[in-house]
Chains A and B, each alone.
Chain A
Amino acid sequence: MSSQTPPAKRPCTDEKGAMFGDENVTMNKQLPDNIMAGDEDQNGHFISKEKAIFQNLEYSSAKESDSAAMSWINSQKLGDFVMNKMIQGSGDMLTVTNRSNDKVVAHIPTSGGNVGEAVKSGREAKEAWGKMQGHIRARHLYSVTREVQKQGKLLAVMECISTGVAVRECKNVMLANLVQTLYHFTGWAELSPEVKDCQSRGIVAVLLPEVDTLTQIAQQVVPALAAGNCVIVSPSAPLPALLFASLCVTAGLPPGVLSVVVGDKARQALLSDRNIAMLSGALSTKEECRSLVSSLQYPIPVSLCQVGKSSMIVFSNSDIDSAVDCLADKGFYASGQAYDSVGKVLVQSSCYEKFCKRLKEKISKLRVGDALDHSNDVGATTSKNISAIKEALTLNTHLSQFKSSSAIPDTGSYHAPTVLLDVQPSNDIWDEVLLGPLVKVASFRTAKEAVAIVNHSKQGVGCSVWSEKNSLIMQLTKQLNVGTVWVNCHGIRESSRPSQYRSCTGSMQCGGVDLLKLYMSPAATPRLSFSDDKIDPSLVKNFGKATFPALPSDKPTVDPEESVNRTIKLFIGGALKRSANDSYRTVLSSTGAVLGSLPDANKKDIRDAVEAAAKAFPGWSGKSGFNRSQILYFLAENICRRKEDFAEVIAQSTGRKYDDGMQEVDTSLQRLFMAAAWADKFTSSPWEQKDPVGVIGITAPSQWPMLGLCSLLGPAIAAGNTVVVLPSDKFPLVAADLCQVIATSDIPGGVVNMVYGSQSPLSLALAQHQHVQAVWYFGYPEGCHVITKEGVENNKQVWCEEYDRRKWNSLVQGTGYTINRHCYNNKVVVMPPGDTFAN
């Protein structure tokens, strides 16, 4: 061998000047995890800090400084934010603690005494703000946007210390979303001429939840402001809202446009103020929603949403590793206390084991701890939520679970991210909303079963679908009854796209022009649902309870020599049915003549009708829009052939002229045509779908017996809903005739059901029926209040108006966006594209 050809050496062979790494292997094997800086190694050499880390490969912490946030807090005399300044109340102190370390951050005096002041300033500001030229309002909002961007870090840290959510999420997710939403709605303010026939509502009360405050500011406060409303915020975690408000002042927002009132008393005072035009809110529990609605003093539009969690479906033909990565990341978003965090995971049984194994590895590496530390994945959880989780877990000790192996800090309110395995959907815990870092995993066999399990839920927030099979994905995006379907991703929000949570009263939405319009009322019918009168508590108490016995008429109902005695029956499931209690009520004309008798239905008939409607729903909603439009045209055709009969009945019942009746019939035909026209135009894209709501209970307006009914019924069934209609109890005979036409117009049985009787008790029964997904009520003010309250129970969408306010014969009021908007739920499908790589 010559010196030019040195011998080959194995890599890692140790000689003098050995590779450091090799030595390290040795050290690692012999001294696992025990290497400490300052110790001595085997050879008696001092180990430096750096050398110790070199060997044990530990991470450092990266704590975001909270000094700016704390000095802001200390520099302010915190209190209610009214007229662009802090006003301190004189009541109890609200103590804000940092959940990460239990340290007291601030004391805020609360009293509720400043609500009157806030409302007053709102009233003074709303004229100018609401009527402001779109461009000028856009400039204001742009200024707010810029201030929020400039102070973004401060805002994120404030959210972090007051809610305990990891600062990374506060900054990268919530703040980013807030900024994006601000830009989006600044744009809508500029484009306000495009938003036709709408005007601002006035003063909107916004209730914010304990966690995810910035997201909810984006979701509620920003669109309400852009729509030209003055907003009074009642936050559960006051600091981020107060900081946001003061940033708005820096941005030059006029006084009174945005106020913040702190504390429970203030919240109560806000709800009993007659100047509030709308209530919007997201709250942690249904109980909160319920008690809030009960304490409302005026019948106003309500959009209340209980915070829920999303679901995830993982198919075996998916990128399972990515699904696991995504779950470990997004599943515990906001410590599992927000809409976008994952509560339920369904995994196809053929890949269940693999999925769980991977998930276990991944979860064990999650780091829990101080929310201000960037290197922590999961921050703190509210103590209320922790105890709820602990309680649920003790009831389910038979289920296997695994959690992160990260050490939990001694102080602060933490719960380790936990995964509960093999949960059966029949177990109560499955559908229970447990806010906090808990994920439940179950297996399923087929896609059909997965959809059934996800849809069998009180919640319908969002669901991600993991599969690489396009035809399967497209089918699922149609079938899942949720607001957002994420395909191979989770928790991506786009403020420009209209998603709508299905677990809400009213319509809790997340973006797009529909969200803007939620905070606006139709220009033609402002304040339709808004009464200046306080609700009479006794009327509320007795609503739907008064019963009048159905007595036989003392006049002859029919002249047997002239015509045949007619027995009108209920129209349920496409058939004419006797009412359950088999009693009848006489119908009189305006002049007091007996026109006939109608069955007097009760709760049981409502039950039957809802069952029939629910049964008909899958078939009807599954039909194509084109198909439904054909049927509606055919209905109009058949009504047209009996025009004179209808006009006659209307004239007789209402005492109006025959021509007037004919006019109503003609307008009704126009409504049906319009509904038919809309039928194939609701959903225009697979990415933004408009799903029918489900079974809608309609309490028809009493003054326009045919027109009111057709204006509501038409769009409802055109969009694919099935309905239970309570026709006008003053003039019900037209509806009875209409049933005959419906029965012969190819409308499948159960799509339209008519139940006659006293509207109040029946509408209450409808509102109390858990399977009715929406109620439209046109009746008494106290009815509006009671129905809204009942709607909270199963998250019904409630649309209430006082009966005599809408002019049904006007084209603007009898048709259009407001009516159509109640016929569908928006659904957004988010499917990030991409597969090509490099060459």
Chain B
Amino acid sequence: MWSSTPHFILTDIFSHLPIVDVGECLIVCRSWNSILQDEYYWKRRLKEDWGIDSLRETHQPCSWISEYKRLHCMQSKSVMTSNSEFERDGLLALTLNHDDDEEENLKRHLLKKRISGNMPERNDGTTFTPDWIENVHINYPAVVRASNDFKGRRALKKEHQAAWLVKAVTLIDLTTLAGDDTYCNVDRLCNYAKNPLRKEILKQLGFDSLTVGAVCVYPNRVKDVCKVLNKLNCNIGIASVAAGFPEGQTPMETRVREVELAVEAGATEIDIVINRTLVLEGRWEELYEEVKACRKACGEAHLKTIIATGHLGDFENIYKASMISMMAGSDFIKTSTGKESVNATFPVAMVMIRAIRDYFEYTGFKVGFKPAGGIRTAKDSLQWLTLMKEELGDEWVQPDLFRMGASSLLGDIERQLYHYCTGRYASSTFDIAM
């Protein structure tokens, strides 16, 4: 029976085996052995067990299986599990990078893996559930009033303000989405993303280093970003807009392909736009299918779905579009492209936050939120953070569940922090990064 089972099915079955049993299977028969020696199988295991999906070109030859063994052995040492199946192979190949701190890095990576049980599980989406978008009632004036009343309700002064501003920096998706973007200004942006605050300021505040949440560019510039970040040895998110950004008025095939190409180019986060036509015509199931297709095209890259609130006409549509996007497996929902006349506003955010809260209640998945467009001042950014804390809790004030799309915000934050640290108002010509 086993001999007649197609290999790909066996591969599938084996990939679910605990690693201790794989050793046993290796010696069952020739056919199983060949499957378990196959690079494809190990590539898959590496991805599933360690979240690693590609190997870097290095000066030493390496294989997926050897890399797996190396990692496994590292883990055995660091977490003291008593499995030595693979320790006999002492070859340490390379995954991440080759420097003296490699061991240290790996340990941190493993630590992160270990706590990943506590990390928000990625939203897998659900089947299309029209019940969740029926009987939606949102009263516009009440939401607007509540969001106005909210402002100024929580205070952040002095060191609190400084600390929250630093937090805000780590939540920024530093964005450039212009026709004249070139390697040159993308390079500058990436450098800024890696070192968003001056060393003196960081030091004074008691921080070693920090980066923004991600860099966000058009698909054509993804390669540039990858190149610069590699050079900088910096592992922040590489976000690319895609799927017919900003209007979404292109054929589905090209939109999906655009997502695929961006991912292939190295994007780790994809910001897609939804098809507003489908919302305004009430074709929710089609919208669901489209977003789902994009999610599929994303693969491991995280999907942020821009619902372009400024085009949806009313709050109920905003809620419904948010809910559909989450059902289809978005990791984030995002307010706007930054190109509509109305962008990220508080009332809109309240509606989307409610959708996130409801979706969490229905499914247990935590979906992130990204306001974009119009967030320009440090004060604004603090209000966004307090809104998230008040409405959804501290978890949603972390980079894996909250980002702010902005380009000029960082400068204002830096200005405020400069003033906090020095007691002097900064000169925009030399105290603040360009």
Contacts and interface: CB of A to CB of B under 8 A. Distances in A.
Interface of A: 1-22, 24-26, 28-29, 46-54, 57-62, 168, 317-323, 325-326, 329, 365, 373-375, 377, 466, 468, 488-489, 832-839
A9 B171 contact: no
B164 A53 contact: yes
B213 interface: yes
B309 A838 contact: yes
Contact of B206 (A7, A14, A25, A46): A46
Contacts of A7: 53-56, 266
Contact of A21 (B101, B157, B171, B205): B171
A19 B139 contact: no
Nearest 9 A/B pairs, CB to CB? A48-B206, A62-B155, A20-B210, A53-B163, A60-B160, A832-B141, A7-B54, A21-B399, A322-B142
A5 B224 CA distance: 9
Interface stretch (B29-37, B110-118, B123-131, B241-249): B110-118
A325 B387 CA distance: 13
Interface residues of B, number: 98
Nearest to A10: B51
Given A11-B302, A13-B51, A839-B341, 11 more contacts: A4-B227, A8-B53, A9-B238, A11-B237, A50-B166, A54-B164, A54-B166, A319-B139, A321-B354, A322-B146, A838-B341
Nearest to A832: B141
B143 A17 contact: no
A9 B235 contact: yes
A19 B223 contact: no
B179 interface: no
A20 B162 CA distance: 15
A340 B269 CA distance: 48
B263 interface: yes
B141 A489 contact: yes
Interface string B192-224: 001000000000011101110110000000010
A836 B161 CA distance: 35
B156 interface: yes
B188 interface: no
**Among B162, B163, B340, residue most surrounded by chain A Cβ atoms (within 10 Å):** B163
Given A11-B302, A20-B209, A318 B137 contact: yes
Contacts of B268: 8-11
26 contacts: A4-B227, A9-B235, A14-B235, A16-B97, A19-B211, A20-B211, A21-B170, A21-B399, A22-B112, A22-B399, A26-B111, A54-B207, A59-B154, A60-B156, A60-B157, A317-B137, A322-B143, A325-B142, A329-B149, A832-B142, A833-B141, A834-B141, A836-B314, A837-B348, A838-B341, A839-B310
**Among B115, B118, B210, B267, residue most surrounded by chain A Cβ atoms (within 10 Å):** B210
Contact of B223 (A1, A4, A47, A52): A4
B3 interface: no
B380 interface: no
Contacts of A375: 153-155
Contacts of A24: 170, 398
Chain A binding surface, main DSSP class: loop
A38 B41 CA distance: 50
A18 B104 CA distance: 12
Contacts of A365: 390
Given A10-B51, A489-B141, A54 B167 contact: yes
A466 B138 CA distance: 11
B300 A8 contact: yes
A13 B109 contact: yes
A468 B315 CA distance: 13
Given A19-B211, A20-B210, A29 B156 contact: no
A488 B139 contact: yes
Nearest to A17: B234
Contacts of A321: 138, 354
Nearest to B102: A16
A5 B223 contact: yes
A60 B163 CA distance: 11
B399 A12 contact: yes
A835 to B, nearest CB: 5
B145 interface: yes
Given A16-B105, A377-B153, A837-B315, A60 B209 contact: no
B313 interface: yes
A319 B302 CA distance: 32
B310 to A, nearest CB: 4
A657 B153 CA distance: 76
Given A4-B227, A10-B300, A50-B205, A838 B97 contact: no
A49 B399 CA distance: 21
B163 A51 contact: yes
A357 to B, nearest CB: 9
B162 to A, nearest CB: 5
A8 B263 contact: yes
Contacts of B235: 9, 13-15, 17-19
B266 A5 contact: yes
Contacts of A322: 138-139, 142-143, 146
Contacts of A8: 53-54, 263, 266-268, 300-301
A21 B400 contact: yes
